[in-house]
Structure 1
Amino acid sequence: MSEKTHEPRADKVAVVEEVTAKLNEASAVFVSEYRGLTVGQLADLRKPLREAGAEHKVYKNTLVKLAAQAAGMEGLTEHLVGPTALTFVSGDVAAAAKALTEQAKATPALVVKGGMMGETVMSADDLKVLADLPPRDVLLAKFAGALQAPLVKTAGLLQAMPRNFAYGLSALVEEREAAA
C-alpha cells in the first residue's frame, strides 16, 4: 500500500504567497470581523480606507495564518477567529486606523479586533488610540513649528545686535559731538 503525499493546491499556494507579499509590504495590518455586513457596507468601508492608503481584503483564516508565519507576523494569528478581513496599510497608518474605527462606529456589525504595526501586536484599544492621533501632515507641521520657533528667536536676536550696536555707536558719537 503506497501512501499519497498531500500537495497543497496551486490556487491556495498563490493566495498564501499574495498575502505574504502584502504583509511584508504593509507598514501596518489591521484585522476586523465583518459578520453581518452587506456587500454594500463592505464597499462603503473600502472607499475611505483606499483614500487613506489602505486596502481591505477578505481571505481564509487558515491561509492568512500560513502567510503570517511566512512573513514573521505570528502575532497576527490571535485575531484570526471568525469571519475576518485584513486591512493592509501602505499610507498614513493613523488615517487608516481612523477610517476603520469610524466605519466601525457607523456600522456596528464591523468589529475591529486589532492588528500589527511593524513587529508590534496591537489590540483594538491600541487601534483606537492610533486613530485619535492627528493626521501625519498636522504632526509634521507641529514638529516644523516647534523647530522653527527657536530659530526665529535666534534670528531676531542676531538682527538686534548690530542694530543696537549702531544705536549705541550713534548715541556715543552724538554725545562726543555735544561735549566738544
Structure 2
Amino acid sequence: MPAQVKFEQVEELRERLSKTQAVFVAEYRGMTVAQITALRAQVRAAGGEMKVAKNTLMKIAMEQEGLTAFPDEMAYGPNVFALAYGDPVAVAKALRDFSREKTNKAFLLKGGALGHSILGVDQVSALADLPSKDVLIGQVVRTIAAPISGFLSVLNGPIRGLATCLNQIKEKKEQAA
C-alpha cells in the first residue's frame, strides 16, 4: 500500500497540472545548484515553474488529469518538469536557450507534452522557434487590418482625385488673375 505522502504529492501535481498549458521534461543530473537556480529563474520569468517529482507520480498525476503521460523512454532518470502556466512558447524558448549554453551541458531536454500531444526534442525546439503569443496576435491583427486599410484607400481615391483636381483649377485661376 502506497504511503499517504505519495497520494498528497500526486494531488499537488494534479493541482499544478490543471493550470498548465504544457509540460516539458528534462534531465538535470550533474547540474550545480547555481545552474538549477538560474534555470528556475529563467522559467519563472517565462511564465512557468520547475518541479522535481518522481517520474511515476508525475505519470499518475498526468493520467488522472486527462493528459497524455510521457513515454517510459522519456521519463527515466532524475527528471525536472517545467510547467508552462502561460505561453508554452516562452517556457520552451527558455529551456532550449538554457540547454544550448556551453556551461549547461549537463542539462538534457527530453521532450514535452502540449495538450494531448507528446513532443520530442526537435518539436520542442520548433515550438521554441515560434514567435511569442503577443507577436503572433500582432501578425494576425495586421493581416486582418490590411484589406480594410486597402479598401479605405480605394474609397478615398476618388475624393482625393477630386480634391487634387479642384486645387489645380484654383491654382490656374489664381495664376490667370
Alignment TM class, shorter chain as reference: 0.7 to 0.9
Deviation at 1:73, TM superposition (A): 2.5
Does 2:23 match 1:26?
no
The two structures have a TM-score, normalised by structure 1, of 0.84
Q: TM-score w.r.t. structure 2 length?
A: 0.85
- CA shift at 1:91, angstroms? 1.2
Identity among equivalent positions (%) equals 37
Which residue number corresponds to residue 102 of structure 1? 97
Please tell me whether residue 9 in structure 1 is matched to residue 3 in structure 2: yes
- Structure 1 residue aligned with 2:38: 44
Secondary structure at the aligned position of 1:85 is classed as strand
Residue equivalent to 2:109: 112
SS at match of 2:70: helix
- Which residue type is aligned with residue 108 of structure 2? V
| Ranges in structure 2 where 5+ consecutive residues have no aligned partner | 169-177
1:122 to 113, 119, 123: 119
Distance apart, 1:167 and its partner CA: 7.1
Structure 2 match to 1:86: 81
Partners of 2:164 and 2:97 in 1: CA distance: 61
Where 1:109 maps in the other structure, the secondary structure is coil
Inter-CA distance 10–155: structure 2 relative to 1 (3 Å threshold): same
Is the CA contact 1:37–1:110 (under 8 Å) kept in the aligned structure 2? yes
Residue 169 (structure 1) shift: 9.6
Distance 2:45 2:86 in 1: 9
Q: CA RMSD in A?
A: 2.0
The answer for the alignment partner of 2:130 in structure 1 is 133
Q: Please list the CA deviations of residues 3-48 of structure 1 after superposition, one character each: whole Å capped at 9, or x if unmatched.
A: xxx3x32211110011122222200000000010111110000111
- Structure 1, unpaired ranges of 5+: 1-5, 172-180
CA contact (8 A) 2:68 2:117 kept: no
| Larger-gyration structure (1/2) | 1
The 10-residue stretch of structure 1 (144-153 or 44-53) with the greater mean CA deviation from structure 2 = 144-153
Give 2:42's aligned amino acid.
P
The 1:21/1:66 distance shift into structure 2, 3 A limit, reads same
Matched position secondary structure for 1:82? coil
Separation in 2, partners of 1:170, 1:127: 61
CA, structure 1 residues 164+44, in 2 after alignment: closer, same or farther (shift >3 Å)? Answer: same
Q: Distance in 2 between matches of 1:136 and 1:11?
A: 38
Q: Given that residues 115 and 123 in structure 1 are in contact (C-alpha distance below 8 angstroms), is that contact kept between their aligned partners in structure 2?
A: yes
Number of aligned residues:
165
Matches within 5 A, 1:32-71: 32-71=26-65
Deviation of residue 75 (structure 1)? Answer: 3.3
Which letter does structure 1 place at the counterpart of 2:28?
Answer: Y
Residues 68 and 77, structure 1, Cα contact 8 Å, conserved in 2: no
Instruction: Name the counterpart of 2:139.
Output: 142
> 1:160 offset after TM fit, Å?
1.9
